[in-house]
Structure 1
């Protein structure tokens, strides 16, 4: 469907996001506790393989409280997308 090579994508998300990610990418995902979280939140690290595309980033934004952890380039692409989108809405008042 998309051109490019699949890459391992890592996101931090709540337990509720595991189901939608399985629905989208199948059962070949890795889920583990987030070792960087010191509080008692239920945040997990979820790894899956996908082509890093604008469609993927938009889908992740649509999930809500999901943070792209890696790879670095994909995280930077997400930050750029969010900045550009935010700027459009800021201009509209």
Structure 2
């Protein structure tokens, strides 16, 4: 079950990752609307943004984990530039 929610005030989808596995620390991550629309196919309101996250959670979560490991004590906000190496996967 996904913990993803759309946050209107920040125009992001917020979700949790567990860097040490399900029994470990829970880290809250945000992904901006732009990559969800431009790379992952969201076309409507908040529900479609959450669905785009869920559909592509494996790629998005992997990117979030990488960013978290780079700076474990900083908030993670994923933007389009974080997926530049993966752009050829967009929409798949």
Q: Scaled by the length of structure 2, what TM-score is found?
A: 0.30
Structure number, greater radius of gyration: 1
Instruction: Kindly indicate which of the two structures has a greater share of residues assigned to strand.
Output: 1
Q: TM-score, normalised by structure 1?
A: 0.29
Tell which has more relative contact order, 1 or 2 (C-alpha 8 A, sep 6+).
1
